[in-house]
Each structure stands twice: as structure tokens, then as C-alpha cells.
Amino acid sequence: MLQVKEALSKGLVGKKVRVRGWIYRTRSSGGIVFAVLRDSTGIIQVTVKKDAVADQQFESATKAGIESSVIVEGEVAEDKRAPGGYEIRASSFEVIGLAEAFPITEYQSTELLLDLRHLWIRSREQTAVARIKAALVRGGREWFHDNGYVEVNPPIVTGVCPEDSTTLFQLKYFDRIAYLSQSAQFYLESLIYSLEKVYAITPSFRAEKSRTPRHLAEYWHMEMEAAWVDNEENMKVQEELVSAMLRNAVDECPEELKLLKRDPATLKKVEPPFDRMKYEEAMDYLQKKGHAVSWGSDLGAIEERALTLDRELPLFVINYPKELKPFYMKENPEDPRTYKNSDLLAPEGFGEIIGGSERETDNTLIIERLRDKGESLDSYQWYLDLRKYGSVPHSGFGLGLERIATWVCKLEHIRDAIPYPRTVARVYP
């Protein structure tokens, strides 16, 4: 048995091969069926002539509609009109699972495609995205491994709120209330006192009420935390990691990128160093471009787009005003209105893919900020303990895997970067 990709190789012309897969499209004219077969590696044309296969096989070949599963045997021939330039001339065409009329046809509404997600994920675009995303993750894992990071498994059910309490999902946990994790950060912080450099890939949950093309309620989060690392070094880790992820996607997925019309040359250019711009400078830049922003304005999709539209490399925006960011960040001694933090914005207008910072080590400041937020300190005692026993400067960040995949795959909406997107409007299928 060969995979379609292998059957498409020049060396096989005139040779007999067996392939299996699903009918991608099919038509018959006269005594001949042209079926295009899809497997996980690609598509290939199969021609089934009436007198070349058993009668009953020809009969089922004419009846088998798209998505029917089949096993085909035949000789490889060159055919310039066929996708990939080769076809298989069938001597056997065995239908394994005859498909009912497939409910997805060429032009469908987005809503219908989401209702039929369990079938739509078979599409070539979705398949390409899944492969590219896997290659990005693998590139990231390898980079972490090569650089001495240990992969760890923080909990998903938690009692703390690292980011924004308005986007917490509550959970009935036996006879208590718990939350679905927004970020593994605090748990990763606790692990650096033994392992020093750790990372985790976990689902994160955000009850995002606004429907935007870059927010999911459930997304995959690649997070790292490291001891003895300041904010500057934290950014170096990010630029190296992102470049390594992209390099692996470009290496492993040239065909998939082509299918999605993403030019790998633009991704290959993404190598360190990335530019750094202070939040304050970003405000100046935006004001000059006519945006109605001032000190304290958050950077939303529109502002991030303006900052990155003309760029080929990602951009770090650093030192945000404290009121815009969570309580655990380290105060910037050079400008105490701000934190030692960074958001990494992907270029071409895309916007944020990573949020990172040096972490506050002064418990007095942390307690003050938690009180200001109206948080009960009870759930955070363990977190405060981390500063009591051998505290060290440390930093970390969180990268949204669907965000980076959306950018790399040039998708219009983040929902297409995950097989089953969870949004305000949808938990089915």
C-alpha cells in the first residue's frame, strides 16, 4: 500500500501500485469514471475504465459519491491534466464504505460549515492548517528541549485568576467553586525553584464575550517560565522560539503552505532580532497616524494592526502602563508608571501572539495590587509563599497556538486554527 504522495512520484510510471483513501471528486462519462482520491498526504486522479475492472467494481465506481472510502490498484501513468501530473489507471476499484450524499457542497455558509465541522475538517485547507500547526508546536517543543527547558503538566482546574476575572469560567467542583485555567503561569512559577526552566502546553479558557476574529473561549497555550531571566532575556527567548517554530513549519509543510497561498519566503525572513518599541512610542506613532489614543489607552486589534501593517518582522511593544496589565508583573524602575513587560505583535497587521513579563518578586506590592483588585488573599497564599523561600528574578510568557497558526496560515478567523472552535455561540459539535 502506498500513500498518495508516494504514488505521485515520477519513478513509479508504468508500475503497479495500491492506494486507499476517500473520493474527493468524481465524474463519469461513457465507459469511464474519473475519480480523484484523497488520503492524508494529497490527492491523485484515478481512471476506471469499464473493461479494465470487474463489472461489479465498475458499477460501484459509477455509484460511489464523494467521501466514499476506496482501495484502488492500478498502473501509474503520466497525465498533464491530472492534479500532480500523474494518474492511476485502475485494474481494481474496491468500495469499502459507500458514502451517502455528502451534505457539504462547493459554496456553503460559514454557519453550515460550523454545524458540519465534524465533516468539514476533512477539507484540504483544514488538513493543511492542522499539519502546519503541528509543525509549529513540534518546532517549539524541540527548541525548548534543545535549550534545557522541562515540559511540565500544570492543573486545568484552579482557584486562581492570573488574567482577567471577567473572563473566568466557573465550575462546580464537588461542593466548591473552581475555575478553568486562564493561564498556567502561577504553577509554572512554582516549578522554577527546582527545574529552573519549564514550559507547558495546555488548554486555556477565557469567557470572551466580544466576538472577534482572534478570540476563542478555549485555546491552546504554550507557556514558559524561567529563573534568573529578566525581561530583556525573556524577549530573546521569544524571538528565538518563534523563529524556530516558523522554520520547522516551513521545512515540514511546503505543500500545505502553498495550498494556503502563504509564501514561505515571508516566513523565512522572520529571524531575530525583532524590533522593540515602548508603549509610549507606540502612542506617538498611532497619534501621528490619526488614531484617537493617549497614555492609558489599550492596544486593540485596530491599533495593533496599524503598528504592524508595514512590517515583515514581529514587533515587541514594551513597558505598558500598569493599569492595562495584570498584578503579577515587575515594576519598571526606569518608569514606575509601567511594567517590565512585552507583547509580541506578529507583522502584516496581525497583532498579538505573545504576552510576557518579568514577574514581581516583592510581596508587599503584590498584596497591594491584589487588594486593589478586590481579590481575597486566601487563594493566593501559596503564590505569596513562592516569594518567601529563596525568591529569584524570573520571567515568562504565554503564546497562543491558534494565534500563531492563524498568522502563519494567513487565516481570516482564528476558529479555523482549531478543529472544534469554542466561542460564545458554539459548543456543537
Binding site for ligand ATP (CB under 6 A): 163, 206, 208, 215-216, 219, 221, 352-355, 398-400, 402-403
Please identify, using beta-carbon distances, which residue of 45 and 185 lies nearer to ligand ATP.
Answer: 185
Cell 488520503 appears where?
39
Residue 73 or residue 189: which is nearer to ligand ATP going by CB?
189
- Say if strands 176-180 and 157-158 run parallel, antiparallel, or are unpaired: antiparallel
Question: Which residues are within 8 A (CB) of 203 and not within 5 positions of it... i.e. 6 or more apart?
Answer: 156, 181, 218, 219, 220, 221
CB of 352 to ligand ATP, least distance (A): 5
Residue 52: closest CA among 83, 75, 81:
75
| Strand partners of residue 352 | 345
**Beta carbon of residue 70, minimum distance to ligand ATP (angstroms, whole number):** 38
Judge whether 198 and 152 are in contact, CB under 8 Å: yes
Cβ proximity to ligand ATP: between 221 and 394 the closer is 221
Write down the least CB distance from residue 129 to ligand ATP, Å: 15
CA atoms within 13 A on the CB side of 58: 16
Question: What residues form DSSP beta bridges with 383?
Answer: none
94/208 with CB nearer ligand ATP: 208
The nearer residue to ligand ATP, 133 or 215, going by C-beta atoms, is 215
The minimum distance between CB 189 and ligand ATP, in angstroms, equals 15
Provide the edge-to-edge strand list for the sheet that holds 218-227.
150-151, 197-205, 218-227, 394-400, 351-358, 341-346, 315-318, 275-278
Element (H, E) at 230: none
Nearer to ligand ATP, 124 or 422 (CB): 422
> Shortest gap between Cβ of 372 and ligand ATP (angstroms)?
19
User: What is the spatial distance between Cα 341 and Cα 161, in angstroms, rounded to a whole number?
Assistant: 19
Check: CB of residue 297 under 8 Å from CB of residue 335.
no
Counting DSSP H helices and E strands in the chain, the numbers are 14, 16
Query: CA 189 → CA 31, 227, 235, 365, distances in Å?
Result: 68, 8, 17, 17
To ligand ATP, the closest distance from the beta carbon of 146 in angstroms equals 23
Cβ neighbours of residue 297 closer than 8 Å, sequence gap 6 or more: 283, 303
Q: How far is the CB of 214 from ligand ATP (least distance, A)?
A: 6
Shortest Cβ 4–ligand ATP spacing (Å): 33
Residue 333 preceded by cis peptide, ω within 30: no
Smallest distance, ligand ATP to C-beta of residue 303, A: 11
In degrees to the nearest 10, what's the CA dihedral of 335, 336, 337, 341?
A: 80
Measured from the CB atom, is 73 or 352 closer to ligand ATP?
Answer: 352
Closest by CA to 73, choosing from 14, 2, 4, 17, is 17
CA distance 233 to 223: 15
Shorter beta-carbon distance to ligand ATP: residue 127 or 423: 423
| DSSP, res 56 | H
User: Which CB atom, from 163 or from 281, has the smaller least distance to ligand ATP?
Assistant: 163
- State the nearest-atom distance from the C-beta of 216 to ligand ATP, in Å: 4
Q: For residues 247 and 408, what is the distance between their CA atoms, to the nearest angstrom?
A: 11
Residue (189 or 402) nearer to ligand ATP, CB: 402
The DSSP result for 154-182, as a single string, is --SEES--SS-GGGPPEEEETTEEEEE-S
Minimum CB separation from ligand ATP for residue 40, in Å? 27
Nearer to ligand ATP, 215 or 247 (CB): 215
